[in-house]
Amino acid sequence: MPDLEASYRSILAREFKAKQAKNKRFSLRAFANLLKCDPTQMSKILSGKLILSVDMAGAFAKTLKLSEEDRKNFILSAAEEQKCRALSLVDRSLTDCGSESDSEESCSKSKKGK
């Protein structure tokens, strides 16, 4: 599994904080809109209640213009979390991953119609 310091959640949080540092009025809603994601879903993603799909991880990484290393860790951490989720649905003994989310939702462009 990718380093937790480079997980997609930590990278998203870092990028959000960086944008807020440049503009104190930059909101979570603005961040979600930038990434073409529903603000409620973005909040759930950042809080660990929602697993980011691999497709959206790629789209987010592109929009955020992440470095090659961050892009790799971002997408791999989303894929690893999806894999752990899938294995735990079949048989929890198949994975040593923590159940970070019991949600089957994923952030999708279709939610906002974009």
For 53-91, what is each residue's pLDDT tens digit? Answer: 999 999 999 999 999 999 999 999 999 999 988 888 888
Per-residue confidence (pLDDT) for residue 13, from 0 to 100: 96
CA-to-CA separations, 50 to 62, 68, 110, in angstroms, rounded: 20, 25, 16
Averaged pLDDT for residues 44-58? 95
- Using the predicted structure, report yes or no on whether residue 4 has a pLDDT greater than 50: no
What structural domains does the chain harbor? 4-91+104-111 (1.10.260)
Averaged pLDDT for residues 13-38? 97
The number of beta carbons lying within 10 Å of the beta carbon of residue 52 is 28
Q: Is the separation of the CB atoms in 8 and 52 below 8 Å? A: yes
CA-to-CA separations, 45 to 10, 22, 66, 104, in angstroms, rounded: 11, 23, 18, 12
Question: In this predicted structure, which of 7-11, 83-87, 98-102 has the lowest mean pLDDT?
Answer: 98-102
| C-alpha span between 45 and 53 (Å, rounded) | 10
